[in-house]
Amino acid sequence: NMSQPQQLRDESDFDQLPDNIPISATIADVEEKKGFIDYFRFVVEVKTKGGSKYLIYRRYREFFSLHQTLESKYSPDDPDRPGANACVLPPLPGKIYIGNKKEIAESRIPELNTYMKRLLGLPTWLLLDDTLRMFFYQTEQDSQHAPRALRRLRPPTRKVKTVKAPKMDLFSSPRAEAMFDFRGNGKAELNLKRGEVIFLLRRVNADWLEGTANNQTGIFPESFVKIIKPLPESDSEGEGGGHTYSCLRCFLLTPSGVETRDVCVQEALTIQPTYNELVSRMRNVFKVDDIALNYRDPEGDLIRLLDDEDVQLMIKEGRRQQGQVQRPVNQFPWELHVSMASDLSVYGSEP
């Protein structure tokens, strides 16, 4: 007496599957995402039974958790005799902890392609599993992402004009005024002081502009400035859409003074980074290894962070005080104060 799911295996059952069931998936590309920690994700092209095609963006860890869930639901106790509602799943390539992230991602493509091919070739009833369908489903983020990625890959096109226009006076050229200080983090980024005028050269993407201030040229987040005269339309392609970057204000407290940086990451303002991600990023930004992370409570005292729960508290506290400080729209409402691990003087009189 075969159970219902087992009988679903013949052709006619495939015909009865809904049209949005994925029937094939292949990796089209690997894309870097610069979050608190830079990582790579796979751009997967999915085809459905109904003939539609779309792209989804998944990290290896998402494949890993899909596999774990499916194993816990369907792996047979005895692989040689899988019972009803059990199924031998294809193997997933294992975790790799050391090495160049891009090379690791590239090297996984063939194995993950084989994995997805075998997964989608399993008995028809398994294709209806919610976890499996959600993994291959195009989320709103996936669908919004496509053009932006392609836009980022497109080289900046600066048309070279052969005819020299008569020199315009400065006040008719595209420009902006800095509404907030911005301390760049890297050679390409332009430092801004509140009140400075920046002459705009071009739009880099939805969030960044390139311009000149104080004889320095560089890129800066549009959210830190007020546009006085916008760039001509053709130069400002890629506007619209939400912010793809958020900026974190950080301070390095040293005996000789405080160093300020604005670190911009491709993350939503609502993200809760892990403690380890923040430590790793701060070591990278300030080029110091032995550091402690802190935040200021409403009384102005430094509170040291030790784990993910502390990070959540800091973020909660930052959101509570959100309205009291004027910030760029895409600046995190919390700030990090980085001190030397051995320097306890920053905590005032406390032990």
Name residues whose C-beta falls within 8 Å of residue 257's C-beta, 6 or more positions apart in sequence.
none
Q: CATH topology for 246-347? A: Ubiquitin-like (UB roll) (3.10.20)
As a whole number, mean pLDDT of residues 40-44 equals 92
Q: Is the pLDDT of residue 195 over 60?
A: yes
Kindly report the CATH class assigned to 170-236: mainly beta
* Residue that wins the pLDDT comparison between 137 and 242: 137
As a whole number, mean pLDDT of residues 228-250 equals 71
Q: What is the pTM of this model?
A: 0.61
Q: Pairing state of beta strands 246-254 and 336-340?
A: parallel
Structure tokens at 336: 């990090």
Structure tokens at 264: 């911009």
Of all residues in the chain, what percent carry a pLDDT higher than 90?
48
Element (H, E) at 208: strand 208-213
Band of the pLDDT at 234, cuts 50, 70, 90?
low
pLDDT tens across 95-120, in order? Answer: 877 778 888 898 899 999 999 999 99
Query: Which pLDDT belongs to residue 161?
Result: 38
pLDDT tens across 128-167, in order? Answer: 899 999 999 998 888 877 544 444 443 444 443 333 434 4
As a whole number, mean pLDDT of residues 116-125 equals 91
Band of the pLDDT at 238, cuts 50, 70, 90?
very low
Of 182-186, 272-276, 285-289, least confident by mean pLDDT is 182-186
* Residue that wins the pLDDT comparison between 78 and 311: 311
As a whole number, mean pLDDT of residues 310-334 equals 90
DSSP one-letter string for 105-123: HHHHHHHHHHHHHHHTTS-
Kindly report the CATH class assigned to 4-153: alpha beta
Domain-wise residue ranges, the chain: 4-153, 170-236, 246-347
Query: Which pLDDT belongs to residue 273?
Result: 92
Q: Is the pLDDT of residue 56 over 70?
A: yes
